[in-house]
Structure 1
Amino acid sequence: MSDDEQELDPSVKLLGPAEVRDLAGLLNIVPTKKLGQNFVIDPNTVRRIVRVAGVRPGETVVEVGPGLGSLTFGLLEAGAAVVAVEIDGRLAAQLPETAKLMAPESSLTVIHQDALRITELPQAPARLVANLPYNVSVPVLLHFMEHFPTLLAGVVMVQAEVGYRIAATPGSKVYGAPSVKAEWYGSWRTHGQVSRQIFWPVPNVDSVLVGFDRREIPLGTEVERLATFALVDAGFQQRRKMLRQSLQPVLGDTTTASAIIESAGVDPQTRSEQLTVHDFLKIARAAETSADPQ
């Protein structure tokens, strides 16, 4: 669907380079690496993200790290009700004020809080759309997938290296613990790179869009998720070792680990980078069965 075909609210204005710099100057903000702040200054890229995310009028979208509001106003332009979570107090206080000028008739709720600590929102979000701070992108993604089961889909912009790792499949050089944990919640895919020039300041890394769709039926229980993730962490801490060795911290000695892994229908000599989340779940269930005295 093209921008022309997408239903956009003409009363909403987007931020360009001049507006972003003016707002930063007004707040005396110098973007910091500590908070992973790189502000988007290109409205066309904003509309591309919103379009790829499939945002629909009237649905609730949660945005993490809205900053000065570049992406926020793109979401509001598409008719979404936005709940924005911002850790920086100055930015959180300014965003509603900017919205009075740029999107006066839109639905925006700003929450001043650390996204990694938030477990409740005033509205149940259907979609997550964000330009995630590079230094916490994976933890934030997994945190929101865990705590907000109403999130059915979304698109995030992250550092390219991180994005490709999240969407990687077994056997890939970049396949790792984040790939498996993300797969627990649903399917992930990349939607192309984003130019460094659309940011201020210009970062020294490339960015990529990553989209997801949540599974209709959860893979397992919360207890099984925790057990599976423990295996994933152990397996990838020593990814070059065979499973019967790398999973010893969780399953026991080599003999015990081999027996449990085999009972799950997995080869104990396989390495973690060859396993899907389903394989790790089978091992977790086999371990639970072996521990059950009955």
Structure 2
Amino acid sequence: MSTTDPTSPASDHHLLGAADIRELAAAFGVRPTKQRGQNFVIDANTVRRIVRAAGVTPEDAVVEVGPGLGSLTLALLEAAAHVTAVEIDPLLAQHLPDTVASRMPDRADRFALVLSDAMEVTELPGPAPTALVANLPYNVAVPVLLHMLATFPSIERTLVMVQSEVADRLAAKPGNKIYGVPSVKANWYAEVKRAGAIGRNVFWPAPNVDSGLVSLTRRQPPATTASRREVFAVVDAAFAQRRKTLRAALAGWAGSPAAAEQAIAAAGIDHTLRGEMLTVEQFAAIAEHKPSAESKPSAEGSSK
């Protein structure tokens, strides 16, 4: 067993720098693809910063989505009790265990790899994850994040790196013009906030957009008799026509504008508001009052 403390600055040789990343990519025949949103972090300071911002402790079991060549994986292994990486690319998945074993042999037994699309993962090997930390592919960041939070309720803390614009949307509050479906749905699971910005120069290849960190701390979902699916159906309907009032936007969901108005009023909400003004709790209240087929008002008053 090595006596070197893997968490000490002197152990930076465990982590991957720009030259290491390019050497590994060349050796494995890896060519980053836009299709899978592959932009590899090449800066050890950045991955350590992400791990610190995530608040990873020696008791945490971390799940990482899209580990790539292992930059963040190695930094997570320095700090956590266990790391499970979910990788969709067979070539990257094939080599990552070897990279972990060669760079951090004393901690290789704390690492597990799942070759899968993260959207299809329903169980993980090892201990139940307590934290999700990931550099998420930009094109699937929101659905992957929401799927992981829904599938693994043991995840208490999340820190994801996403496109800066997506980070802003996730952390937006009611009344903000960029507040929308991602904001509301993420808030169902967690308290959400921006946790910093990441420059383009720490990636290879460098993306054409800036990146942002988003922190999510698990909370109890709103107290409601409606299911998550029912609440999310209201959210989707409200923002499908976000410039319309709730009465108009929810007409299809409720069966008619009059039925929508009835449900909105029963929830104690002004039907002339737009969806961007409502909290997740208010959407849940509307979902509770969706009229049944028998009780729906006539289509009188419906608007085209």
TM-score, normalised with respect to structure 1: 0.93
Q: Quick one: structure 1 residues 170 and 11, their matched pair in 2 at CA, closer, same or farther if it must change by over 3 Å?
A: closer
Paired residues of 2:263 and 2:289 also in contact (CA < 8 A): yes
Paired residues of 1:16 and 1:42 also in contact (CA < 8 A): yes
Letter in 1 for 2:78: E
Distance 2:238 2:112 in 1: 41
How much does 1:77 deviate? 1.2
> After superposition, where does 1:168-179 map in structure 2 within 5 Å?
168-179=172-183
The equivalent residue for 2:289 is 286
How much does 1:79 deviate? 3.4
Q: Quick one: structure 1 residues 258 and 190, their matched pair in 2 at CA, closer, same or farther if it must change by over 3 Å?
A: same
The equivalent residue for 1:229 is 232
Distance 1:92 1:246 in 2: 44
The equivalent residue for 1:55 is 56
> After superposition, where does 1:13-24 map in structure 2 within 5 Å?
13-24=14-25
Q: SS state of the match for residue 266, structure 1? A: coil
Paired residues of 1:12 and 1:103 also in contact (CA < 8 A): no
Q: SS state of the match for residue 141, structure 2? A: helix
> After superposition, where does 1:118-267 map in structure 2 within 5 Å?
118-122=121-125, 123-215=127-219, 217-220=220-223, 224-267=227-270
Deviations along 1:112-162, whole A, 9 cap, x unmatched? Answer: 000000011113100000000000000000000110000011200000000
Paired residues of 2:73 and 2:83 also in contact (CA < 8 A): yes
Q: For the pair shown, which has the larger CA radius of gyration, 1 or 2?
A: 2
Paired residues of 1:13 and 1:77 also in contact (CA < 8 A): no
Letter in 1 for 2:100: A
Paired residues of 1:84 and 1:111 also in contact (CA < 8 A): yes
How much does 1:219 deviate? 2.2
How much does 1:218 deviate? 2.9
Gaps of 5+ in 2: 297-304
Q: For this pair of structures, how many residues does the alignment match?
A: 288
How much does 1:109 deviate? 0.2
Deviations along 1:4-40, whole A, 9 cap, x unmatched? Answer: 9x77894970000111001110111110000000000
Q: Quick one: structure 1 residues 34 and 239, their matched pair in 2 at CA, closer, same or farther if it must change by over 3 Å?
A: same
Letter in 1 for 2:51: V
Distance 1:232 1:34 in 2: 29
How much does 1:248 deviate? 1.1
Q: Quick one: structure 1 residues 186 and 289, their matched pair in 2 at CA, closer, same or farther if it must change by over 3 Å?
A: farther
TM-score, normalised with respect to structure 2: 0.90
The equivalent residue for 2:277 is 274
Distance 1:291 1:83 in 2: 49
Distance 2:63 2:294 in 1: 41
Deviations along 1:181-204, whole A, 9 cap, x unmatched? Answer: 001001000111101000000100
The equivalent residue for 2:83 is 82
Letter in 2 for 1:163: A
Paired residues of 1:8 and 1:79 also in contact (CA < 8 A): no
Q: Quick one: structure 1 residues 103 and 223, their matched pair in 2 at CA, closer, same or farther if it must change by over 3 Å?
A: farther
Q: Quick one: structure 1 residues 288 and 57, their matched pair in 2 at CA, closer, same or farther if it must change by over 3 Å?
A: farther
Distance 1:195 1:234 in 2: 35
Q: SS state of the match for residue 194, structure 2? A: strand
The equivalent residue for 1:109 is 112
Distance 2:202 2:106 in 1: 27
Cα RMSD (Å): 2.1
